[in-house]
Amino acid sequence: MKELTQLFDDASFTYTYILTDLLSNEAVIIDPVDTHLNEYLNIIRNNQLKLKYVMETHAHADHVTSAGNLCQSTGAIAATPVHCNITPAEIQLEDKQELRFGEKQIILAIHTPGHTAGSMTFYWKNKLFTGDTLLINGCGRTDFQSGDITNLYNSITKKIFAYPDETIVCPGHDYHGNRLSTIGNEKQNNIRLANKTLEEFKVVMDNLNLSKPKLIDKAIPANLELGLVCHAAELL
């Protein structure tokens, strides 16, 4: 088992991450997808992992989470951004709050609003798990679910881009086969952000003309309940 495992859902182009402390086998999973629940459980079982936390970067609009079912199956604790109002989560993460697992492993929660008002980025061992805030050569949209262009710009340029250039960017999605990037690469080459003022960024974002996510009406209500409402409905 590697320290960092990156998994991909090809229906929603979502990346899920498993962080593992190799000394204790304690693990954390970030942004799990409902249709991959059995895959995650098999990885946990086959590698004898002890899942401590299931974390969400925000309440997703393009897929349903398996966070609630993972917690029920493994005894893990759900940790979600406080301003996302995912009320069943036991831990409501505040800005700059730390979560510890394994032997001295620390995850730092960073409030990075913009894609949604509650969105967070997680920092661990020179890696930033940026959710839908910063993508590789792109960024999250701001045209629904409490999105805000100015907040997104400030979150990326003032908080995320403040990390050293060599910091690894682990995005929540990618639509072009990319897996990882770096802060330096995104500062220099990101087509929506590199060398752009706030006003220039606003022009870019106002002209994206993106279609509504197909699952938004199902996903957001379900994800506010850690995916358990959706699962319960399927059992009826």
Domains of the chain: 4-235 (3.60.15.10)
Burial (CB count within 10 angstroms: exposed 0-12, middle 13-18, buried 19+), residue 75: exposed
Residue bearing tokens 């506010």: 224
pTM for the predicted model, two decimal places: 0.96
Judge whether residue 231 has pLDDT over 80.
no
pLDDT value, residue 94:
98
Distance set, CA 172 to CA 12, 90, 93, 209 (Å): 10, 22, 18, 21
Distance set, CA 182 to CA 18, 130, 164, 207 (Å): 19, 11, 9, 26
Mean per-residue pLDDT, 57-71: 97
pLDDT value, residue 72:
97
pLDDT value, residue 230:
54
Judge whether residue 229 has pLDDT over 80.
no
What is the rounded CA–CA span in Å between residue 157 and residue 160?
A: 6
Q: What is the pLDDT of residues 24-50, one digit of tens each?
A: 999 999 999 999 999 999 999 999 999
pLDDT grade for 145, boundaries at 50, 70 and 90: confident
